[in-house]
Amino acid sequence: MDGSGNSLASGPDGTKRKVCYFYDPEIGNYYYGQGHPMKPHRIRMTHALLAHYGLLQHMQVYKPNPARERDLCRFHADDYVAFLRSITPETQQDQMRALKRFNVGEDCPVFDGLYSFCQTYAGGSVGGAVKLNHGHDIAINWAGGLHHAKKCEASGFCYVNDIVLAILELLKKHERVLYVDVDIHHGDGVEEAFYTTDRVMTVSFHKFGDYFPGTGDIRDIGYGKGKYYSLNVPLDDGIDDESYHFLFKPIMEKVMEVFRPGAVILQCGADSLSGDRLGCFNLSIRGHAECVRYMRSFNVPLLLVGGGGYTIRNVARCWCYETGVALGVEVDDKMPVHEYYEYFGPDYTLHVAPSNMENKNSRPMLEEIRSKLLDNLSKLRHAPSVQLQDCPPDTEFPEAGEDQEDMDERNDPDSDAEMEDLKHAEETPRKYMSSNMQSVKVKKENFENEPNNQESHKAGPEQAKGFDPMAEDVPPMKASDKASMAVDDPHKASSKT
């Protein structure tokens, strides 16, 4: 036994799990700036909803300890972390070169409390990983999941990569860790961090083609020892639940079968939901949460983190529902009245129907993607066994001596170096293969809630009646105010300039 254990302490019944949840009450007050789509307030909205649904009360809830500078430096470059620590909105003018170098200032603005924000969300994710290492079944940190951050630079609203830090923590206890990313954007920061190792497999489902961050090509499969340990599932606009799971389930089943991770991190970016402000997918909350349900069913320790999500009331809906899924509780559609109830009008329901937008993912295309990815996965069949006792060779640079020149250059899949690596990758398993190398079929639950069985949710009956503007605490708005706030008309908006 490797000690990592693929079945959970809570037993195999598939419903009950020991779930812990990380929340810092300060998180909602961090503010990226006027008009910035990233709003940490959504974490607070989720928290309020969870409390009123009675879900919080059934978890162990922790306030994370902030990650320290040296903790962040386990992945990030020292100078980058020192920069994040020192920069403030007042001093940024004096550090223009550093801002540019670390890609801070535009998408990733300097705001009040930036560093403590990073410490908080990173602390939650690493805390979650430690909990899993200590035998918890599921840990949740909705403030985490900032998957774009790179070793030496910020990117796509992300400064510190809490996922990479959490994976490094999990790697202390588990030989192999799986990362799954259902954010609409490619999980480039995590992929890059583990691109050359076979101890971490990254799988990202994302919109590809003229879309941020531009990486995530199906042909990016990893490099060196990490070849075939990066999986990219490129998708097009308007994907619905059925198309999504046509890929998600078979691919994840195969990944679990051949990679056999000791722990899984699932990044639950909610910008892949229908109606997201920056997204273009058409997933329902049930479809999105089906990813959680499916990954949970493998009985492997699971860390759920947040990520993108820019229509904030849908983010709160989604992560609340997914917390319920983690607990094995089906959450009512009719929301309890709570602090942020008014955000959810006029229906005040948890689920919203997806739109009728066109699904640009044709079946032949999905089939081609699926078969290509399953084919790549079949090349992993002979992953090193869990019985492996030997320490594998240095994971940094398999061919360090020979490829000195190529070290810091971008890799070229057609280069000789790549061929060498391929050879290496093929040899390794043979060298370390143990006698009982049979791939273990991962135990899985049956699924009752297929996404295509969903009923669509209609508008509730409790439409607002008897609105009395005079009852407001603030003076009633005039119709003209309302018009200026109605933002669907670009002409209106631009005519204001």
Residue 92 is given by DSSP the state G
Nearer of residues 9 and 407 to another protein, judged by Cβ = 407
| Cis omega (within 30 of 0) for bond into 393 | no
148, 174, 245, 351: the catalytic one is 148
Among 117, 195, 248, 298, binds another protein (CB under 8 A): 195
At 220, list the tokens. Answer: 């990016």
Residue 398 is given by DSSP the state T
Among 375, 405, 448, 488, binds another protein (CB under 8 A): 488
- Give the number of residues in contact with another protein, rule: CB under 8 A: 179
| Closest listed residue to residue 376, CA positions, set 484, 192, 241, 232 | 232
Does 310 carry a binding-site annotation?
Answer: yes
Among 331, 373, 377, 425, binds another protein (CB under 8 A): 331
Stretch 148-187: interaction string toward another protein, x if CB under 8 A: --xxx---xx------x--xxx-xxx-x---------x--
Does 156 carry a binding-site annotation?
Answer: yes
Shortest distance in whole angstroms from residue 349 CB to another protein: 9
- CA separation, residue 474 to residues 40, 89, 314, 451 (Å): 26, 32, 27, 43
Stretch 215-254: interaction string toward another protein, x if CB under 8 A: x-xxxx--xx---------xxx------------------
Within residues 338-377, the interface with another protein by CB under 8 A covers 338-343, 345-346, 348, 350, 352-358, 360, 362, 364-365, 368-369
Within residues 94-153, the interface with another protein by CB under 8 A covers 103, 106-107, 112, 123-124, 126-127, 129-131, 133-134, 150-152
Residue 12 binding another protein, by CB under 8 A = no
User: What is the Cα–Cα distance from 5 to 183, expressed in whole angstroms?
Assistant: 28
Shortest distance in whole angstroms from residue 475 CB to another protein: 6
Nearer of residues 234 and 301 to another protein, judged by Cβ = 234
Among 394, 405, 448, 455, binds another protein (CB under 8 A): 394
Does 179 carry a binding-site annotation?
Answer: no
Amino acid at residue number 443: K
At 154, list the tokens. Answer: 């910020």
148 is catalytic: yes
Nearer of residues 356 and 441 to another protein, judged by Cβ = 356
User: What is the Cα–Cα distance from 291 to 204, expressed in whole angstroms?
Assistant: 12
CB count, 10 Å around CB of 207? 23
Report the b/e string of 134-162 with b at 16+ CB within 10 A: eebbbbbbbbbbbbbbbeebbbbbbbbbb
Among 144, 324, 398, 451, binds another protein (CB under 8 A): 324
Shortest distance in whole angstroms from residue 210 CB to another protein: 4
Within residues 22-61, the interface with another protein by CB under 8 A covers 22-23, 25-26, 28-31, 33-37, 39, 41, 44, 47-48, 51-61
| Closest listed residue to residue 64, CA positions, set 22, 19, 21 | 22
Question: Is 262:299 a contact under the CB 8 Å cutoff?
Answer: no
Cα-Cα-Cα-Cα torsion 207, 211, 214, 220, nearest 10 degrees, comes to 20
Does 79 carry a binding-site annotation?
Answer: no
Among 69, 212, 424, 440, binds another protein (CB under 8 A): 212
Strand order in the sheet with 230-235: 19-22, 138-141, 302-305, 263-267, 177-181, 200-207, 230-235
Residue partners of 386: CB distance under 8 A and separation at least 6 = 2, 4, 175, 260
Does 185 carry a binding-site annotation?
Answer: yes
Does 183 carry a binding-site annotation?
Answer: yes
Shortest distance in whole angstroms from residue 418 CB to another protein: 11
Among 92, 392, 429, 439, binds another protein (CB under 8 A): 392
Residue 297 is given by DSSP the state T
Nearer of residues 276 and 290 to another protein, judged by Cβ = 276
At 355, list the tokens. Answer: 């739109």
- CA separation, residue 22 to residues 44, 57, 65, 291 (Å): 12, 13, 10, 21
Nearer of residues 127 and 301 to another protein, judged by Cβ = 127
Shortest distance in whole angstroms from residue 181 CB to another protein: 15
- CA separation, residue 194 to residues 96, 99, 120, 188, 295 (Å): 30, 26, 23, 10, 21
At 482, list the tokens. Answer: 């309302």
| Closest listed residue to residue 190, CA positions, set 224, 232, 239 | 232
Within residues 268-287, the interface with another protein by CB under 8 A covers 274-278, 280
Known binding-site positions for a divalent metal cation: 183, 185, 271
Residues designated as active site: 148
Known binding-site positions for substrate: 107, 156, 310
